[in-house]
Structure 1
């Protein structure tokens, strides 16, 4: 059985060549973005510089997923101090937002897809203020230098790949109501062919303005007016996002959330991200099991991961939100005694079948309420020769965000990450809409430290709420199963629908379906998904990994 599964794994994964182990590495979901990071490292920049250049380049070449019209989370290991820091560049709800924002006139929650397109879903973008904070604290090269690769891509043009072609083609019907984005990405009325060249001169002009004028050139003046006008005059759900909303936005450096797992210290992003808290809770629940002995080809290992996943997501839906607005019991959710009680619910020979939120220490009574979360987003990693490590997840939320464009940039639909119903069972929902609030996220940029305190692995992913499981899988693959960065991100993914396990079609885990069903699981098969990027330390230096399900690559300087 084990030999058959190994053969299936070999057939399932056609791995891209990993970056050769070296002192430095970058990895991104698009080769042009990885090349931008590589260029910055070659010019003498550090990991923070490279990450910001990749974020800007992805604005141009991956507009369906991320960019300066959206936000992100940044995690950084500073080699000079040995400290890990996190920066929250998550979008905010405008001052006009109320808890009833996504309710229909009769008080029912709007349909998710209806809410996405148009002005109602747009939050104040955070990525440029995040970049400002990162560059001020850790940047090495001049601010303007980091814009060079993105400006060149916008003005000289870039080649349409299969992913962008497919995403544009899928938007043809919707874009009949959004002529501005259609004119930009569907000139002539059809999706540009794979291999065609696209240019975005308006975005190039905006990037030049911000390169010269700093972050204020984005959040005030002409660009702020263009952004506010795009939301106010949206073809659907015109809304108020004001000049004051934009001018007031600041990225926030927050304390990292850290845990230990088998002697390794692992750090990530706290609320309003649920990523680190949920990933770490799953790790804590499976730590009592000998995952290394079970191995990646054993259905029992995936059963244990699946049970811990369902328990942790139940807690996530009940307790996570923006800690500036609600009390989020992060310490309680990760409290060893509490995690032990949750782990005790997991049996090795059967599924639990019912997965409800627990009561962690310090938690206020809550009713679970699951927000919608789309599957856009992107991730990138940079490590420099000095030992600095940057890992960042960036997003405009769904495919092409709100479908609105201002100065060539796609505007996010991040506010649909809020829970639409503001109350449940008479109690306020933690992730309900409120003015100035940041919506809950699953983004999970993560850094792993070995027992000697050295960073040895950095990872993150894209894909809505599946991000948590892509990162979790990568951490288990690295720490328990001894896989390198490329092998770790390439492993099959596991998720859930209701209480059923969702597995990738054609993968070794799909072949385990009979064994998982024998343990009491319902199993659903879906086409392969995943978009993770990572970098890991090896005996020869750092090597990158890029998800083979994406067009990403890892490059050395």
Structure 2
């Protein structure tokens, strides 16, 4: 069944498509796609395309972006359609109630669009402290009104669309509206996430919607979301203003301030005052490439590039073992580089509107001399849990305390390259699975709606250390919490040609996942799918976690002999990657999730 967009008059269409004939009118076709099983690892073939490519975390979302690109839309147009469908079909990961970072290349410039949430004006640094002045348990803080930051995804996409869009804004919402009204089959991944979740069931709107008769929605069950369809129609017609003022905004505030256990302070004024930002992307040399990513408040690019820069300073080792897995010597170097990079991350990186870069310049954290000094700390023996201390990348006007470890979760990633060569990498989130576990119906009175973020738990719960030294990433009014999101575009350093777009969800481990995929693709010569198939190893400075059941026992024993505190655990990334090839593009999707790549 084809549904022609009423928003696209012939004259508007010809204008929007730069003079394309009316025969190229965009019609959204409900796809015959059943999201694959994603609670278990699924083999992915990798996808070769010639003209364009879109990679996203759910087949229905990928298809929406694909149809936009086929209609002559830009990469940014496609990203908007993808995000709106993800709000519906992958509500546990991202959506209207969250934030996002987007890195965009238009063939000339690389621009970073910041849609990160902000702290409400009424908060203070004791937001997540109990009556005794101690940090709340993570889930007590997350599943509450306290954790909700001012959403920024739609405002950011609207800002970017004004500069990079080609099709009319309203038309980009039709895939999500159609699916929300007519329904979509619940995927295995959504069912599994709902079954594992406890707090969402207690929300007065989300409980009945996602757990009819007290049980999670079944795989294959058709889920309609009329409230979200109505909200999307308002945003399609009125833009981001529909989320900042009026009934939709009023209901959001009421849900946050009316939370039964821990109400938050987010207000209508906070929503009205939110501004998406355009920032200068950070572009750094690595080998024969120029790697571009997001600046603070993301820690992603700086920490990722510190890891790669430290590895470049170390003696070469054989990276893959006889079984094609990352070798024990390489893993040791990677984990030790991660320890040092995360030590710097914990001390220095936060919202640049509140915290100055060490030495006044973030690039000092990537200076070759500084990295050589740090790399000298890596030996054949591990520094061990807690053994990596922050360095001193510049003369510091202010000394910050190191932030204590606390959980980080979440997110989804989108990579797109269009026929004109525009490329983007966008990582989008509501933080933990199902965010704050607060569903808003926008005041429609209809069933469903969208989930609100718990992004403020990305701030340090403790505002200072035991000595009273402030922590850079503490809670402050209007501040954007530090993120690990690492949307990445890679270029050939000599020619300037685009090489790849990639990124991942996964909380703080986003950095490790993206770094290893980048190395595997560009240093080891693996294609995008092969790189994404590789098993993971991470450390945030403490134990070394290796992906469960993926490494030989000899690798675990070898790392333990070097002094690593090794344990195995499930490490569910959601990498998406598209690389430029001689004949077009080759895309990969993480076998641990349900995403696919599409293109012509």
TM range, smaller chain:
over 0.9
2:271 to 218, 228, 246: 246
After the TM superposition, which of the residue ranges 420-429 and 462-471 deviates more from structure 2?
Answer: 420-429
2:390 to 352, 357, 365: 357
Distance 1:174 1:294, change over 3 A: closer
Local SS of the residue matching 1:423: coil
1:441 to 483, 493, 496: 483
Matched, 1:260 2:285: yes
1:48-107, Cα deviation, whole Å (9 max, x unpaired): 11111111110000001100100010001112xx11110110000011111111111111
What CA distance in whole angstroms lies between the structure 2 residues aligned with 1:544 and 1:143?
27
Contact 1:377 1:394 in 2 (8 A): yes
What CA distance in whole angstroms lies between the structure 1 residues aligned with 2:74 and 2:139?
40
Q: What is the match of residue 464 of structure 1?
A: 507
Q: What is the match of residue 25 of structure 2?
A: none
User: Unaligned 5+ residue runs, structure 1?
Assistant: 1-11
What CA distance in whole angstroms lies between the structure 2 residues aligned with 1:34 and 1:85?
23
Contact 1:279 1:469 in 2 (8 A): yes
Matching of residues 24-43 of structure 1 within 5 Å: 24-43=52-71
After the TM superposition, which of the residue ranges 543-552 and 494-503 deviates more from structure 2?
Answer: 494-503
Q: What is the match of residue 417 of structure 1?
A: 458
After the TM superposition, which of the residue ranges 16-25 and 305-314 deviates more from structure 2?
Answer: 16-25
1:205-248, Cα deviation, whole Å (9 max, x unpaired): 00001101111111111111111111111122112211110011
Local SS of the residue matching 1:428: coil
In the TM superposition, what is the alpha-carbon distance from 1:297 to its structure 2 partner?
4.0
What CA distance in whole angstroms lies between the structure 2 residues aligned with 1:475 and 1:316?
20
Q: What is the match of residue 141 of structure 2?
A: 115
In the TM superposition, what is the alpha-carbon distance from 1:422 to its structure 2 partner?
0.8
Matching of residues 25-424 of structure 1 within 5 Å: 25-79=53-107, 82-171=108-197, 173-289=198-314, 293-295=318-320, 297-329=326-358, 330-347=362-379, 349-353=380-384, 354-363=387-396, 364-370=398-404, 372-407=406-441, 408-424=449-465
Local SS of the residue matching 2:49: coil
Distance 1:290 1:453, change over 3 A: farther
Matching of residues 385-534 of structure 1 within 5 Å: 385-407=419-441, 408-424=449-465, 425-451=467-493, 452-496=495-539, 498-508=541-551, 511-534=554-577
Distance 1:176 1:50, change over 3 A: closer
Q: What is the match of residue 590 of structure 2?
A: 547
1:501-523, Cα deviation, whole Å (9 max, x unpaired): 11012213665112222322221
What CA distance in whole angstroms lies between the structure 2 residues aligned with 1:137 and 1:50?
14
Distance 1:294 1:406, change over 3 A: closer
Local SS of the residue matching 1:149: helix
What CA distance in whole angstroms lies between the structure 2 residues aligned with 1:154 and 1:234?
26
Local SS of the residue matching 1:397: coil
Contact 2:48 2:586 in 1 (8 A): yes
What CA distance in whole angstroms lies between the structure 2 residues aligned with 1:480 and 1:290?
15
Q: What is the match of residue 44 of structure 2?
A: 16
Contact 1:299 1:509 in 2 (8 A): no
- TM (norm. structure 1) is 0.94
In the TM superposition, what is the alpha-carbon distance from 1:290 to its structure 2 partner?
6.1
What CA distance in whole angstroms lies between the structure 2 residues aligned with 1:51 and 1:458?
13
Contact 1:30 1:551 in 2 (8 A): yes
User: Unaligned 5+ residue runs, structure 2?
Assistant: 1-39, 442-448
What CA distance in whole angstroms lies between the structure 2 residues aligned with 1:121 and 1:496?
26
What CA distance in whole angstroms lies between the structure 1 residues aligned with 2:326 and 2:275?
46
Contact 2:535 2:547 in 1 (8 A): yes
In the TM superposition, what is the alpha-carbon distance from 1:382 to its structure 2 partner?
0.6
What CA distance in whole angstroms lies between the structure 2 residues aligned with 1:202 and 1:466?
34
After the TM superposition, which of the residue ranges 229-238 and 193-202 deviates more from structure 2?
Answer: 229-238
In the TM superposition, what is the alpha-carbon distance from 1:15 to its structure 2 partner?
3.1
After the TM superposition, which of the residue ranges 395-404 and 179-188 deviates more from structure 2?
Answer: 179-188
What CA distance in whole angstroms lies between the structure 2 residues aligned with 1:465 and 1:285?
19
Q: Give the number of aligned pairs.
A: 542
Q: What is the match of residue 556 of structure 1?
A: 599
- TM (norm. structure 2) is 0.88
Contact 2:66 2:78 in 1 (8 A): yes
In the TM superposition, what is the alpha-carbon distance from 1:418 to its structure 2 partner?
0.6
Contact 2:388 2:541 in 1 (8 A): no
Coordinate RMSD, CA, aligned: 1.6
Contact 1:87 1:253 in 2 (8 A): yes
Q: What is the match of residue 3 of structure 1?
A: none
Q: What is the match of residue 578 of structure 2?
A: 535
